[in-house]
Amino acid sequence: MVSDRENAARALDRMRVLDAKRKRQWGKLLWLLIGPGVLVMLGENDAPSMLSYAATGSQFGIGFFLPFIFLTFAMAYVAQEITVRLGAVSQAGHAELIYRRFGRFWGNFAMIDLFFTNFLTLLTEFVGIVAGAGFFGIPDYYAVSGGLIVIFLAFMFRRYWSWERMVLGLALFNLVFIPVALLSHPNWNSVVYSLFTFRPLPSGFGSQTIVLLLADIGATITPWMLFFQQGAITDKGLSIRDLKQGRIDTALGAGLAALAAMATVVATAPLFVHHMDASQFGAAQFAQAIEPYVGHVGATLFALGILEAGLVAATTISTSSAYTFGEVRRKAHSLNLPFREAKPFYFTLFAVLVLAGGIVVLPGFPLELVVIIVNVIAVLTMPPAIGFLLILANDKEIMNRHANTLTLNILGIGVGVFISLAGIIYALTVIFPSFHL
């Protein structure tokens, strides 16, 4: 369901793109087309993800995990590159393609599954907003209310382009973890050496380590990313002619997100060096704990980074839920439309945000427990999503000559197998608590 308003908005954007191509203004062209890839990658550097990376650095240092995190973002790029091609070639959202290709049952299954995992993740984003604001003494209720106001303002532009630029500017603030890492004055020889070697963990791969490994994988590759980026590509109006820039956009996003993630590990590594028990820390506690090593400025930036991560991810994740609802229920679903022309889309978007924010401020809500389990759940729900993705990417009727090559299939299957094995190993740790790899 595409309205005249949507077509007019996208036509205006396409005219600017074509003008930049005609004049060979490659920098301007990249600026016009960049967005979905950077947003999806930096959006996945959300509050629970950054807390996972902080816990990683504080409990294990930099030795094993710097190259491991880089590997997970490389896997994320493989999955999202396929998503870029699907969106550009089909001009349809991910849930819509599942509905068309596999039928009503699987379309509804994908929507319900995504709603469940997205809602749990949204809870953790507001946990991050509350915890980040807590460093500055802001009460929970005011932190959640202020966060909702900022997010709602982003949707008031009635144009995908304007919404994307605002959220993109906020998302780039995720890079604030890099100066925090610099302020920790790391041993750069050790950092460089760690990037190119998988140094063994002193404690081996026990159950706690495996849970943290899964959390770091879930901090990088999750189902909502597929639905959001493909929906955003469709809403933005990217076409087959834009595939090169779409790949650059996604690679740039993966690179920036990996830098911020690894910087977070480096920033909290002094806690590991000084043998501090940070296993139960939240965002504000991490900021306070690293203050002796990064100074008040560094601790402030860390808390602001967690706050930003929650805001950006809450915006993108709620949008992915709204896109999916509109695609499966055949309702208008575009940020180029005003509220009165896409009421189900915006109602879904705002309802999940308000409900998640309201639950988080309830007295006695188990904040730390939810943060721990969400990234693990994301890993356990990812294999079916990868399966759908690969089947769609190999469907000649949908993809034509842009279907997956043998190499891309091998890489995609490799990502799926890796995540599935991680899920199996996690299941073993639950059934056999003494399991040690």
Report whether pLDDT(422) > 60: yes
Report whether pLDDT(433) > 70: no
Lowest mean pLDDT among 125-134, 367-376, 406-415: 367-376
Q: CA separation (Å) from 385 to 39, 76, 88, 140, 341? A: 20, 13, 19, 34, 31
**Is residue 436, in this structure, part of any structural domain at all?**
no
Give the Cα separation of 199 and 202 in Å (integer).
9
**Is residue 268, in this structure, part of any structural domain at all?**
yes
What's the token pair of residue 222? Answer: 């999750």
Residue 210 has what pLDDT?
Answer: 73
**Is residue 101, in this structure, part of any structural domain at all?**
yes
Q: What is the pLDDT of residues 295-342, one digit of tens each?
A: 989 889 998 998 888 899 899 999 888 888 888 888 877 888 888 888
Q: What is the pLDDT of residues 257-286, one digit of tens each?
A: 999 999 999 998 888 766 665 555 555 577
Give the Cα separation of 32 and 20 in Å (integer).
9
Report whether pLDDT(417) > 60: yes
**Is residue 437, in this structure, part of any structural domain at all?**
no
CA-based nearest residue to 349, from 383, 316, 308:
316
Contact 283, 128 (CB under 8 A): yes
Residue 78 has what pLDDT?
Answer: 92
The full length of the chain comes to: 437
Range of the structural domain that residue 211 is part of? 4-431
Contact 320, 314 (CB under 8 A): no
CA-based nearest residue to 369, from 211, 174, 148:
211
**Is residue 408, in this structure, part of any structural domain at all?**
yes
Residue 21 has what pLDDT?
Answer: 76
**Is residue 277, in this structure, part of any structural domain at all?**
yes
**Is residue 42, in this structure, part of any structural domain at all?**
yes
Residue 251 has what pLDDT?
Answer: 94
- pLDDT mean over 337-351: 86
Structural domains of the chain, count: 1
Question: Predicted confidence band at 182 (pLDDT cuts at 50, 70, 90)?
Answer: very high
Contact 180, 413 (CB under 8 A): no
What's the token pair of residue 295? Answer: 């100074």
CA-based nearest residue to 107, from 381, 388, 387, 413:
388
The answer for residues whose C-beta is within 8 angstroms of residue 215's C-beta and 6 or more apart is 48, 52, 55, 372, 375, 376
Instruction: For residue 83, give the CATH number of its domain.
Output: 1.20.1740.10
Q: What is the pLDDT of residues 215-250, one digit of tens each?
A: 777 778 888 889 889 988 988 888 888 888 889 999
The answer for residues whose C-beta is within 8 angstroms of residue 76's C-beta and 6 or more apart is 41, 44, 220, 221, 225, 254
Q: Longest Cα pair distance anywhere in the chain, in angstroms?
A: 64
Helix (H, G, I), strand (E, B) or coil at 156: coil
Q: What is the pLDDT of residues 42-88, one digit of tens each?
A: 988 888 888 888 888 888 888 788 888 999 999 999 999 999 999 99
Residue 132 has what pLDDT?
Answer: 84
**Is residue 143, in this structure, part of any structural domain at all?**
yes
